[in-house]
Structure 1
Amino acid sequence: MPPLIRATGLALLWTLSTAQGQTQPTPSIPAAVTAPAVSTATTPVVLSGVVQHPRAYLLAELRALPSRTLTVSFTSGGQGVTHTYRGVLLYDLLKAAKPNLNAGTKNDALRWAVLARGADGYAALFSWGELDPDFGNRPVLLAYKQDGQPLPMRDGAVRLVVPGDGKGARSVSSLVELQIFRSGP
């Protein structure tokens, strides 16, 4: 049976269990926590999932990590926009979390994905392969600066910036959660 994906209100829940080598859906419990609509400097970005080192990052901690600057163009609200962003590469944080990749399975990383969620419940999904330098090598940023300034208040303290996307739809604003999971057997 394929993995079960359920949208519950604004939250996107992904639950899996393994029984006798098959993936079976399990009951999911909606989150009782109500996140603010916009993240602030004291709102952590929680990195969790099937990883050895889950972690919550505050804005100050992200700013202390090696960063990168990218100029990105995309369509937003029907208009073309171009901004220069500064932030931390998503892939670097994912590697530091040490997902439980199976070295015995050929290209096991290609079965993994990351769900990014904003404070308002908005979510976007990324395959590991598009982020990994050995495959797609897309430099997705957890951005905390836009055009040399802190992000506009509407974008929260941290947002994802996805170079190469024609629309800015996967550029999750007010980022609060990154969940790493394996999508197949």
Structure 2
Amino acid sequence: MNRSRSSRLVLALAIGVVATGAGRAAFGQAPTPAKDAKPTVALRVHGEVAKPLELSAADLAGLKRQTVTARAHDNRESRYEGVALHDVLQKAVLPAGKDLRGKAVSLYLIVEAADGYQALFALPELDPAYTDRTILLADRRDGQPLTAREGPYQIIVPGEKRHSRWVRQVVGLRIGKD
């Protein structure tokens, strides 16, 4: 193959790779998502809910942001930012406030982590009508995104002496009842 022809072939292949998006990362650009591509699921809310959800990071970012200060596993006091766990659950249409009574009081939440770890909360523990404590689904600590070991989402429970319910790498919220 002559030099001119091989140069044209290499150029054509490079243009084809860039045009399809496959080579954009090599040129410092993110690949263009397909028009019908669904956003990546960041968190599932499922179980005994009126409206099961698959929330993307953008969905979660659209909720009201809150901040709590709490002493972490490393015994260092930190400022965590995210959304109240109660607010996330309200998107799944769960009983709250005056409607959280009778059999609904026995509903519980199991927070599910990527590694299979789980922690349990009674629904009233999360409801502002029952408590002044805000349990947070955090995505930032001291102004920085959570580390890969902690995030992208972590449950923060201010005031607890043990951190066994500070679930890291949260992927699911499952509502149950007996």
Q: Same fold (TM over 0.5)?
A: yes
Question: Retained in 2: the 8 A contact 1:59–1:157?
Answer: no
Question: Retained in 1: the 8 A contact 2:111–2:167?
Answer: yes
Q: Once the 2 structures are TM-superposed, how far is the Cα of residue 132 of structure 1 from its aligned partner?
A: 1.2
Q: Once the 2 structures are TM-superposed, how far is the Cα of residue 48 of structure 1 from its aligned partner?
A: 0.5
Question: Retained in 2: the 8 A contact 1:116–1:124?
Answer: yes
> Who is 1:108 aligned against?
103
Question: Retained in 1: the 8 A contact 2:41–2:54?
Answer: no
| Map 1:14-163 → 2, pairs under 5 A | 42-74=40-72, 76=73, 79-99=74-94, 106-163=101-158
Question: Retained in 1: the 8 A contact 2:126–2:135?
Answer: yes
Q: Which has the larger radius of gyration?
A: 2
Q: How much identity, in percent, do the aligned residues show? A: 34
Moved more, 46-55 or 91-100: 91-100
- Considering Cα pairs closer than 8 Å and 6+ residues apart, tell me whether 1 or 2 has the greater RCO: 1
User: Unaligned regions of 5+ residues in structure 2, if any?
Assistant: 1-38
Q: Once the 2 structures are TM-superposed, how far is the Cα of residue 152 of structure 1 from its aligned partner?
A: 1.1
Question: Retained in 2: the 8 A contact 1:91–1:131?
Answer: yes
RMSD over equivalenced CA pairs, Å = 2.3
2:162 aligned with 1:164, yes or no? Answer: no
Aligned partner of residue 45 in structure 2, secondary structure: strand
Question: Retained in 2: the 8 A contact 1:51–1:97?
Answer: yes
Query: Which residue identity does 2:171 align to in structure 1?
Result: V
Q: Once the 2 structures are TM-superposed, how far is the Cα of residue 92 of structure 1 from its aligned partner?
A: 1.1
Q: Once the 2 structures are TM-superposed, how far is the Cα of residue 150 of structure 1 from its aligned partner?
A: 0.5
Cα 1:179–1:164 change in 2 (3 A) is: same
Supply the distance in 1 between the matched residues of 2:162 and 2:64 (Cα, whole angstroms): 27
Q: Once the 2 structures are TM-superposed, how far is the Cα of residue 62 of structure 1 from its aligned partner?
A: 1.0
User: Unaligned regions of 5+ residues in structure 1, if any?
Assistant: 1-40
Supply the distance in 2 between the matched residues of 1:156 and 1:123 (Cα, whole angstroms): 15
Question: Retained in 1: the 8 A contact 2:83–2:138?
Answer: yes
Cα 1:106–1:150 change in 2 (3 A) is: closer
Supply the distance in 2 between the matched residues of 1:104 and 1:119 (Cα, whole angstroms): 32
Task: Tell me the matched-pair count.
Answer: 139
Greater fraction helix: 2
Instruction: Flag as ranges the 4+ runs of structure 1 deviating above 4 A.
Output: 103-106
Greater fraction strand: 1
